[in-house]
Structure 1
Amino acid sequence: MTTSPAPHDPASPTGATGRRGPFLEGERVQLTDPKGRLHTITLGAGKQFHTHRGYLSHDDLIGSPDGSTVTNTAGVEYLALRPLLSDYVMSMPRGAAVVYPKDAGQIVAFADVFPGATVVEAGVGSGALSMSLLRAVGDHGRVHSFERRDDFATIARANAREFFGVDHPAWTVTVGDLVESLPEAVEPGTVDRVVLDMLAPWECLEVVADALAPGGVLICYVATATQLSRVAEAARDHGGFTEPEAWESLVRGWHLEGLAVRPQHRMHGHTGFLITTRRLAPGVTPPLRKRRPGKGYTDVSTGEALTPEDFGERPVSDKKVRRLARSLDEQSES
């Protein structure tokens, strides 16, 4: 039995067509074998899926409901499901490293990306985060994505088109530098959220501040602690943002087999840091942070003194040090 691909319904949200109902020709289907191994295929009339243990016909799946099983010629049974967005992201073609689903979910949630929002994203990479943002803003929002490399932008567009079935109407991809291109793409104070996935996001804070509406959220995804520190200090020095907050997420799966319930040996550890801050209203300065000044080393890049507190260490009072030194002297004399 073969079924023609369903045309995109203009009354249906982009990407919703084909997310339910029977499998259609041209759809991607994820097959899971008895050992939990995954295979993703694109259904085609008359085609076959081969492994070293027999083959199965695509025609046996076309027209079947989502969540069906199919048995190949060797008697191996496969579970067939439509891939979720997280499944698709991890298996799609990529030119650049993708933002993992665990981080994309954090970005959408903690940046509070809402339906109808205007979001600016830089850079696009392979389009993984772009698809989550498009899902969140819907057809009536806007996602302005900026990517310096044309080849990355091409891959991202193709991946999104494959997943949604059409070019998403809310998405604009600009090949170019964010600092140069953003003022031409949006009016000042009209952007609700900005997501930066780039090497030096601190270089873009001025143009981002101009684009963000008061209360708008800036969230940056960076790989190293050095980048994290630079973003935080640049946001504080700018004066137009709230005190930044930073975190990372670590996801550990669990093995579930009878009474053998334990953490899996492998986990999704460090992928990146997230740091977020919000735009203050024009002319408003953030409340002065009460920091205890102290002597320390000098940052050669800025010439400013570094203190133990800068690295999260608790300060040690001179009085305590003198008391400890006196105690040690008395012990040595006795």
Structure 2
Amino acid sequence: MTATGSQYRRGPFREGDRVQLTDPKGRMHTITLTPGKQFHTHRGHVKHDDLIGSPDGSTITNTAGTEYLALRPLLSDYVMSMPRGAAVVYPKDAGQIVTMADVFPGATVVEAGVGSGALSMSLLRAVGESGRVLSFERRADFADIAVANARAFFGEDHPAWTVAVGDLVESLPGAVEPGTVDRVVLDMLAPWECLEVVADALAPGGVLICYVATATQLSKVAEAMRDFGTFTEPEAWESLVRGWHLEGLAVRPQHRMHGHTGFLITTRRLAPGTTPPLRKRRPGRGYVPAEEDQDGAATGAMLDATSHLGPEGQDWSSEALGERVASEKKMRKLVRGVVPPTPR
């Protein structure tokens, strides 16, 4: 069985292929090959017809004499340049998620939320045609953009992918049988609100991995995992990627780097009825579990009722966490640009 999209990843350039053109200064431009069209810059143009039929890794010279290197974009290149409404999961984090969550061929993976589809494509690559990725997204416009981005990259709709518009807590119990999900990936503002349905869906030994942007979210989800009682002790980390300048003897770190993008925290589902071993490391002074607080059950109830609120009652929203939010105008423009109109 041919892997989805593999036929578009090799061989000569064809009509409809995405091609990445790199000029002598390292500037990259991504085009979709269309017969009769031209790629223009302020210094000449390149005819698409001159690229169609050329082998991957060719060079082409524009009308002003500027030479471009033509290559099919890698997945890491594509996700950084594709249309987006929500911030994408960077390739460095997607690679960590696939590896540290041990996403394997044939696995059943639940993802929430989809955003612009960057992580979804890495998950689909990992599970293959025999696996299953169920993605949940609250916003229909984000889901439309993600589906269009994945279709443009793979060249067709991936058979292992199902995208549902709705809330994970409400939708997941009706979408999967209890104990049948191998991996769960949560990229959302308040993942601690989903732990109950995630625990029911995960098979014993299954992995839950969360991607969060701030230390406040990281702390809250870690404590929620511990308090829930059906997960192993969580582990958290972040990855920083720094490129190197390679020019003769001037071999040194680049001045710019991909610094903090988000935190990853992972845990595993315990078998039913299993009590996790007691933590040997004492928490810091001032840590008081809700059920042991001096106010007893009343405090626990208060925390449950305000689980969507941050410190001092602030809402857990994208704006409150410092994320850049696309305007409604931009979203409408993106959807029009990537989603074909419905035939009458």
Separation in structure 2 between the aligned mates of residue 290 and residue 74 of structure 1, nearest angstrom? 69
SS for the counterpart of 1:156 is helix
Hey, what's the Cα distance between the residues in 2 that align with 1:271 and 1:294?
A: 27
Change (3 A) 1:297 1:230: closer
**Matching residue's letter, 1:229:** S
* Inter-partner Cα distance in structure 2 for 1:260 and 1:301: 59
Verify: 1:222 aligned to 2:212, yes or no: yes
The match for 1:66 is 56
2:304 aligned partner: none
1:36 corresponds to 2:26: yes
Separation of aligned partners in 1, 2:61 and 2:24:
11
2:17 equivalent to 1:22: no
Does residue 151 (structure 1) correspond to residue 141 (structure 2)? The answer is yes
Task: Output the TM-score relative to the length of structure 2.
Answer: 0.83
In the alignment, the residues of structure 2 paired with residue 297 and residue 26 of structure 1 have an alpha-carbon distance, to the nearest angstrom, of 58
Shift of 1:205: 0.5
Q: Is the Cα contact below 8 Å between 1:240 and 1:284 reproduced in 2?
A: yes
The answer for unaligned runs of 5 or more in structure 2 is 296-344
- The one-letter code of the counterpart of 1:129 is L
1:117 is aligned to 107
- Does the C-alpha gap of structure 1 residues 295 and 267 become closer, same or farther in structure 2, counting only changes over 3 Å? closer
> Do structure 1's residue 165 and structure 2's residue 177 form an aligned pair?
no
- Within the candidate set 223, 248, 263, 1:273 is matched to 263
Which residue pairs with 2:236 in the alignment? 246
Q: CA deviation at 1:299?
A: 8.8
The aligned counterpart of 2:82 is 92
1:131 alignment partner in structure 2? 121
Larger radius of gyration: 1
The answer for unaligned runs of 5 or more in structure 1 is 1-10, 306-334
Give the distance between the partners of 2:10 and 2:276, measured in 1 at CA. 49
Q: Give the distance between the partners of 1:188 and 1:222, measured in 2 at CA.
A: 26
- What letter is aligned with 1:223? A
Instruction: Provide Cα deviations, 1:4-24, integer angstroms capped at 9, x if missing partner.
Output: xxxxxxx31111111000000
**1:195-251: per-residue Cα shift (whole Å, max 9, x none)?**
000000001001000000000000000000011011111111111111100000000
Q: Which residue does the alignment assign to 2:247?
A: 257
Match of 1:314 in 2: none
In structure 2, C-alpha distance between the alignment counterparts of 1:171 and 1:297, rounded to whole Å: 42
Deviations 1:141-163 (A, max 9, x none): 00000001111111111111111
- Structure 2 partner of 1:183: 173
CA distance in 1, matches of 2:153, 2:132: 18
Specify whether residues 294 and 106 from structure 1 end up closer, same or farther in structure 2 by C-alpha distance, changes over 3 A only: closer
Change (3 A) 1:29 1:302: farther
Letter in 1 for 2:266: T
- Write out per-residue CA displacement over residues 73-115 of structure 1, whole angstroms, 9 at most, x where no aligned residue: 1111000000000111000000100000000000000000000
Paired position in structure 1 for 2:323: none
Q: Which has the higher contact order (CA 8 A, sep 6+)?
A: 2
Number of equivalenced pairs: 295
Q: What does residue 313 of structure 1 align with?
A: none
**Separation (CA, whole Å) in 2 of partners of 1:186 and 1:297:** 36
Structure 1 pair 270–66 and aligned structure 2 pair: CA distance change class (3 A) = same
**Change in 2 beyond 3 A, CA 1:238/1:300:** closer
Partner of 1:309 in structure 2? none
Q: Corresponding residue for 1:83?
A: 73
Alpha-carbon distance, 1:303 to partner: 4.5
Distance of 2:158 and 2:106 partners within structure 1: 14
1:45 aligns to 2:22 (yes or no): no
Contact 1:298 1:304 in 2 (8 A): no
**Could you say which residue in structure 1 is the equivalent of 2:199?**
209
> Where does residue 235 of structure 1 map in the other structure?
225
Q: State the distance in 1 between where 2:263 and 2:285 align.
A: 29
1:283 aligns with 2:273: yes
Q: Which amino acid aligns with 2:152?
A: E
Q: What amino acid sits opposite 1:185 in the alignment?
A: A
Tell me how far apart the structure 1 counterparts of residues 244 and 284 of structure 2 sit (CA, whole Å): 46
Match of 1:122, as an amino acid? A
Q: Name the SS for the 1:231 alignment partner.
A: helix
Query: Contact 2:242–2:254 at 8 Å: present in 1 too?
Result: yes
Shift of 1:291: 3.8
Change (3 A) 1:215 1:301: closer
Tell me the amino acid that sits aligned with residue 128 of structure 2. G
Provide TM-score, normalisation by structure 1.
0.85
| Cα distance in 2 between the residues matched to 1:209 and 1:259 | 54
Q: Which amino acid aligns with 2:127?
A: V
Partner of 1:17, secondary structure, is helix
Distance 2:258 2:241 in 1: 5
Report the CA distance between 1:279 and its aligned residue: 0.4
Structure 1 residues 295 and 67, CA gap change in structure 2 (3 angstroms): closer
Q: Supply the distance in 2 between the matched residues of 1:270 and 1:301 (Cα, whole angstroms).
A: 34
